[in-house]
Chains A and B, each alone.
Chain A
Amino acid sequence: QKEVEQNSGPLSVPEGAIASLNCTYSDRGSQSFFWYRQYSGKSPELIMSIYSNGDKEDGRFTAQLNKASQYVSLLIRDSQPSDSATYLCAVNMDAGNMLTFGGGTRLMVKP
């Protein structure tokens, strides 16, 4: 069964610190990887897409992909209380458009 795994947390970091969120996936042939942020009671919001090995930076966010280790991560620099949310890792495992979601990691940024 194709799976995406995340630590459920909560991951607690102080304001201004770097938050590191991790995700592993089972299908070695996976091509595309996405991070969604979901505030409590709201819908998932796409924050990062990554397709090739290495780092991709967008503002305070950096996505890192290592296909050999089947590992994708999201770094949030200078974490703010407004970053407190659940972060969902989603992987496209079939070269179509179906996404397999991890269970999400709850991040808490404390002032």
Chain B
Amino acid sequence: DTEVTQTPKHLVMGMTNKKSLKCEQHMGHRAMYWYKQKAKKPPELMFVYSYEKLSINESVPSRFSPECPNSSLLNLHLHALQPEDSALYLCASSQAKGNQPQHFGDGTRLSIL
């Protein structure tokens, strides 16, 4: 079991649906990350939150909307996704000071119909 918890584990949605992915950590980390991972590829960074503020947006389409309500929670709101957005979405957290390892949750497997 990981200390970063993601829900749901699997999500199937249509292109007109709105859904949210949730991530929670209780390690006292103040940096949190969203990654997208396609099969046989490394994780691809989407967003970074540091001290609950968005610090990095890697030119992600606006149909993905991140939110960090508090230091333990991270959400990713999804709207009008495309079939190519089907992937494993990973949340990670780390201490906010530099050179720290990131700890990943189990991920949400997203399928867009």
- Write the residues of chain A forming the contact surface with B, with a CB cutoff of 8 angstroms: 31-32, 34, 36, 41-46, 49, 51, 88, 90, 92, 95-99, 101-104
- Write the residues of chain B forming the contact surface with A, with a CB cutoff of 8 angstroms: 2, 31, 41-43, 45, 48, 50, 56, 88, 90, 94-96, 98-107, 109
Distance to closest chain A CB from B73 (angstroms) = 18
Q: Are A97 and B102 in contact (CB under 8 A)?
A: yes
The chain A residue with its CB closest to the CB of B96 is A97
Q: Are B2 and A49 in contact (CB under 8 A)?
A: no
With beta carbons under 8 angstroms apart, the residue of B2, B56, B95 that contacts A98 is B56
Q: Are A92 and B98 in contact (CB under 8 A)?
A: yes
With A90-B102, A95-B99, A97-B48 already in contact, 6 other A-B pairs whose C-beta atoms are closer than 8 Å:
A32-B99, A41-B109, A43-B106, A51-B99, A98-B45, A103-B41
